Structure 1
Amino acid sequence: MEEIKIRDEFIKLGQLLKLADMVQDGVEAKYVITDGLVKVNGEVDDRRGRKVYEGDIVSYDGKEIKVIR
């Protein structure tokens, strides 16, 4: 599992996918999230603006990311 370090208290889900190079841009992030392909802490979340906090685990396309500060 890869770890991604954030500076602030949270990061939005779409931004996290871009930061982790799981998607190429915001448009791709929007589609994979709204299509229900992204999970946060094991549950599908279709909100691109979902706030992801330290300790949350995001999975997409066979990859998992843990958010750290």
Structure 2
Amino acid sequence: MKNIKIKTDMIQLDQLLKLADVIATGGQIRMFLDAKKIFVNGELCQVKRKQLHDGDVVEVKGCGTYRVCGE
């Protein structure tokens, strides 16, 4: 599991995936959502701008698992 540090109270899912180098642009997230490959805290996520907070865990099937870490 890779920790992704943020400096704000929250981050949107597409922004987190860009920070984690899973996607290069925010538009690429649609491909992952359509393929039903993203889980947030164990639940399937279909919202590209889902708000994530400290402690949330994002799993992208075939890419990795990422934990949101606040400062």
Q: With structure 2 as the length reference, what TM-score do the two structures score? A: 0.88
Once the two structures are TM-superposed, the CA of residue 28 in structure 1 deviates from its matched residue by 1.0
| Structure 2 portions without partners, runs of 5+ | none
| Structure 1 portions without partners, runs of 5+ | none
Residue identity opposite 1:55 in structure 2: G
Q: CA RMSD in A?
A: 1.1
Which is further off, 38-47 or 24-33? 24-33
Once the two structures are TM-superposed, the CA of residue 51 in structure 1 deviates from its matched residue by 0.2
Counterpart Cα distance in 1 of 2:30 and 2:57: 18
How many residues are aligned here? Answer: 69
Equivalence map 1:1-69=2 (5 Å): 1-62=1-62, 63-69=64-70
